[in-house]
């Protein structure tokens, strides 16, 4: 069989030889086996199915992908580094990162309004007063004080500087700086002392009027309680003219009509300022009431007492100007310790003194001083010392069964 490209004629059969084909070969198109043969291959139908998968020649040489992978890796690293750097720069400029670590919290928020605190806010008051508050250091003890003049005078408690000398006393300021200090003078009975610091460019406090405060007014106590310097606590005025008799057995007895507050005050606060909501000093923190039986275990229970600034200012001025303080007296001796609630009984009266001049006599019981009820002699002593010498105060007293009144002009002690 052939496809006809080299077809040629076959020789005819020899005479007398039978045909190589069968009997009906004459009707068969292939009747002449020697005739040229042609095979026609029909065209294959066009397939409508999926194309066959290409077959890869296993012997064909393969192209390496290593250069392509390296190029992709280098490109990815460069793009990531550039993107991270740009993102970090924009985050820092936008305030979303501080450049030290992960950013926590919500982003894109503006600073709260409290950052710009108003001068009359609590933080504004503290910022104003704190530079004028000092920590007073005496050998073996620590207390507080506050600057009252440009030239470095400081008011503190007498019991803070008791036993101190110029070599053992120093002060530290809210900015951490320190300076030496010397004792100017002291008045043990009022528990007020004045020292002077060896430092220039100091900032004095603003002094208020302790007679103008009322129960319920907000106050702040500054100082170094338990040696924790630059401490501020807050509370309210709990009571006024709370008469205090304080002092160690065998030592000086101190009397004053105090401002009572529930602001937290502890050992080390002594001598520090009690400040009103206007940033003005209205008292000198001095003592606390405690449920403990020993001084070393005493702690705040919400009962603290401050010397009114009007009284402290007057005594400090006397110490600075005259070297000692004038003590206000009524010119009479009283019975103390009875606490009968019936008033202050006069044990003796100086006829030439304020009480005698006003008509009071021994045996009289003073029940009110300037409309303030008295329970015993301690109340009378403490309230009298609140006033300046020369002040005229109304007095109500009982003589026998009769109640009488008088105006007494208080005087300064001659000692």
Indicate the pTM of the whole model: 0.72
Q: Write down the pLDDT at residue 20.
A: 56
Q: In the chain, how long is the greatest CA-to-CA distance?
A: 195
Residue 91 has pLDDT above 90, yes or no: no
Residue 41 has pLDDT above 70, yes or no: no
Helix (H) or strand (E) holding 310, with range, is: helix 309-322
Residue 81 has pLDDT above 80, yes or no: no
Mean pLDDT of 356-372: 94
Residue 65 has pLDDT above 90, yes or no: no
Residue 379 has pLDDT above 90, yes or no: yes
Kindly indicate the confidence band of residue 342, based on its pLDDT and cuts at 50, 70 and 90: confident
Q: Closest by alpha carbon to 331, among 346, 348, 353, 361?
A: 353
Residue 44 has pLDDT above 60, yes or no: no
Query: Which residues contact residue 242 at a Cβ distance below 8 angstroms, ignoring those fewer than 6 apart?
Result: 257, 258, 259, 260, 305
Give CA separation, 254 vs 138, 246, 410, in Å: 21, 5, 19
Cα dihedral across residues 185, 190, 191, 196: positive or negative: negative
Q: Which residues are catalytic?
A: 159, 191, 270
Kindly indicate the confidence band of residue 79, based on its pLDDT and cuts at 50, 70 and 90: confident
Helix (H) or strand (E) holding 351, with range, is: none
**pLDDT 10s digits, 109-138:** 666 655 678 888 999 999 999 999 999 999
Q: Write down the pLDDT at residue 161.
A: 93
In the chain, % helix, strand, coil (3-state, to 5) comes to: 20, 30, 50
**C-beta separation of 369 from 395 below 8 A:** yes
């Amino acid at each position: 069989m052939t496809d006809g490209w080299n077809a040629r004629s076959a020789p005819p059969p020899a005479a007398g030889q039978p045909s190589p084909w069968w009997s009906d070969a004459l009707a068969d198109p292939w009747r002449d086996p020697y005739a040229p043969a042609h095979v026609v291959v029909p065209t294959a139908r066009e397939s409508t199915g999926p194309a066959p998968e290409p077959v890869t020649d296993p012997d064909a040489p393969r192209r390496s992908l290593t250069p392509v992978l390296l190029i992709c890796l280098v490109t990815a690293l460069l793009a990531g580094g550039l993107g991270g750097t740009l993102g970090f720069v924009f985050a820092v400029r936008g305030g979303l990162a501080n450049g030290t670590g992960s950013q926590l919290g919500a982003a894109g928020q503006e600073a709260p309004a409290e950052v710009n605190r108003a001068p009359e806010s609590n933080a504004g008051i503290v910022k104003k007063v704190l530079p004028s508050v000092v920590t007073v250091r005496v050998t073996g003890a620590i207390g507080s004080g506050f600057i009252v003049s440009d030239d470095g005078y400081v008011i503190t408690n007498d019991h803070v500087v008791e036993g101190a000398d110029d070599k053992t006393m120093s002060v530290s300021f809210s900015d951490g700086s320190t300076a030496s200090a010397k004792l100017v003078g002291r008045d043990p009975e009022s528990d007020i002392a004045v020292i002077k610091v060896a430092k220039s460019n100091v900032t004095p406090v603003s002094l208020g009027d302790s007679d103008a405060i009322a129960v319920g007014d907000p106050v702040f106590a500054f100082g170094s309680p338990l040696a924790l310097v630059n401490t501020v606590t807050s509370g309210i005025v709990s009571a006024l003219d709370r008469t205090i008799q304080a002092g160690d057995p065998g030592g000086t007895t101190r009397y004053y009509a105090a401002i009572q507050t529930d602001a937290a005050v502890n050992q080390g606060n002594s001598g520090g300022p009690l400040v009103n909501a206007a940033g003005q000093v209205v008292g000198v923190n001095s003592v606390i009431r405690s449920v403990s039986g020993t001084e070393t275990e005493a702690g705040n229970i919400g009962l603290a007492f401050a010397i009114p600034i009007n009284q402290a200012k007057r005594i400090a001025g006397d110490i600075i100007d005259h070297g000692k303080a004038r003590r206000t007296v009524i010119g009479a001796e009283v019975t103390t310790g009875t606490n009968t609630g019936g008033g202050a009984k006069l044990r003796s009266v100086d006829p030439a003194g304020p009480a005698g001049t006003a008509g009071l006599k021994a045996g009289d019981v003073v029940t009110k001083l300037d409309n303030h009820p008295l329970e015993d002699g301690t109340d009378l002593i403490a309230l009298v010392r609140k006033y300046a010498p020369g002040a005229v105060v109304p007095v109500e007293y009982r003589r026998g069964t009769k109640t009488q009144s008088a105006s007494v002009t208080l005087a300064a002690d001659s000692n």
